[in-house]
Structure 1
Amino acid sequence: MEPVPTDPGIIELSEDELREIAGYAADCARRTLSIFEDGLPSDTRPRDAVDAAYVFAAGGRRTNALRQRAWAAYRAAEDAASPAAADAARAASHAAAAAFLHPRASAHQVKHVLGAAAHAARAEELAYGEGRSGAGTTFGWACHHAPAAVTAVLGRLPAAPAGGGRAGELVRGLDAALRT
């Protein structure tokens, strides 16, 4: 029997890898939740998204509730007290959305793997300024603490795409650092 040809646009992506990526994304986003919460302490949408990502990473199901938490955190960015807080909310949104990474060989999927880390790093830049205490710590942490699933999946994807402003630059920087 001849092997069945595989679709070159599809990559292998296991549920265990999705869980590891979601846990990593949640770890990155959690680092900057306080930036959002300092301005809106009663708005739990970003924290709820990060918590939902952790539940999935620990073996929970991919549900519509998880997807809704990702969207709620995304909408929280519109209500954020500052640009830094908005990026912290976007990091939380990306953490919950990481569970829905698609097995497509698309550069866009790199943003789903690294979006939480990039937006968390951007939130720190905006909150603490370049060269000040706290600035850039998530970027370095994300480079040194990426689990095997993150680097394995990135190795199956094309390089991160152009565009996306400063967060896009951070995605590309993380992508390049994690591929070496």
Structure 2
Amino acid sequence: MPTEPETIELGEDELREIAGYAAECARRVLSVFERSLPADTRPRHAIDAARAFAAGGRRTAALRQSAWAAYRAAQEAAQAQGQGQGQEAVREAASPGAADAARAASHAAAAAYLHPKASAHQVKHILGAAAHAARAEELASGEEQRVTSGTLAWARHHAPPAVVAVLGRLPAAPPGGGRVGDLVRALDAALRAA
């Protein structure tokens, strides 16, 4: 019985296109985060780092650190939105969607480190910025499904050839992941069908 390959082809040019796409998806919702927490520049730095890599920059420790910093900003925003823990000023400032906007930025910088593994989990690394951007806009709009559909349509129409090509080498997006997982699967299916 033949087995599935453990790895896929993944060129640096493809990584750059994927990171650039992820950065553009995250950039679209950066204002959702910055309206709530204007002094926190971690998501902006992550997007800028992803764009620099996409434009020909090197994968450096600073790029990876910017992804983690944006992730921490997302955690802090989620905590501020959630159970009321953390600093009072942050708790009052965080708005719906801010955490997902920061997660989109984190995914953008992390896209440069996509692994050439033939794993469905890698789909989340390719489409995570787009899915979190869609969720950020959905939350910021008060769960308006029309907004979500528009964001996913934008992501589908702006996906560069490398995104579609690499998705075609991977299994479909895995189950789970809550609402963001649903958005990843919807976008994955739409891109594969195109």
Report the TM-score, using the length of structure 1 for normalisation. Answer: 0.93
| Cα 1:93–1:124 shift into 2, 3 Å | same
Q: Identify the residue that residue 178 of structure 2 maps to in structure 1.
A: 165
- After superposing the two structures, state which structure 1 stretch, 134-143 or 159-168, moved more: 134-143
Q: Structure 1: how far apart are the matches of 2:123 and 2:145?
A: 29
Q: Identify the residue that residue 151 of structure 1 maps to in structure 2.
A: 164
Deviation beyond 6 Å, 4+ runs, structure 1? none
% same residue: 77
CA RMSD for the aligned pairs?
1.4
Q: Deviations over 1:14-43 (max 9, x none)?
A: 000000000000000000000000011010
Count of paired positions: 174
Report the TM-score, using the length of structure 2 for normalisation. Answer: 0.86
User: Cα distance, 1:78 vs. partner?
Assistant: 2.1
Q: Deviations over 1:72-114 (max 9, x none)?
A: 0000012221341000000000000000000000000000000
Q: Structure 1: how far apart are the matches of 2:170 and 2:118?
A: 5
Q: Deviations over 1:42-95 (max 9, x none)?
A: 100000000000000000000110000000000001222134100000000000
User: Cα distance, 1:134 vs. partner?
Assistant: 4.6
1:102 is aligned, of 115, 123, 134, to 115
User: Cα distance, 1:131 vs. partner?
Assistant: 3.6
2:30 is aligned, of 25, 33, 51, to 33
1:20 partnered with 2:17: yes
- Written as runs of structure 1 = structure 2, the 5 A alignment for 1:1-180 is 8-80=5-77, 81-131=94-144, 134-180=147-193
Q: Structure 2: how far apart are the matches of 1:173 and 1:135?
A: 11
User: Cα distance, 1:132 vs. partner?
Assistant: 7.5
Q: Deviations over 1:109-158 (max 9, x none)?
A: 00000000000000000001344785443211001110000000000000
**One-letter code aligned to 1:52:** A
- SS state at 1:28 partner: helix
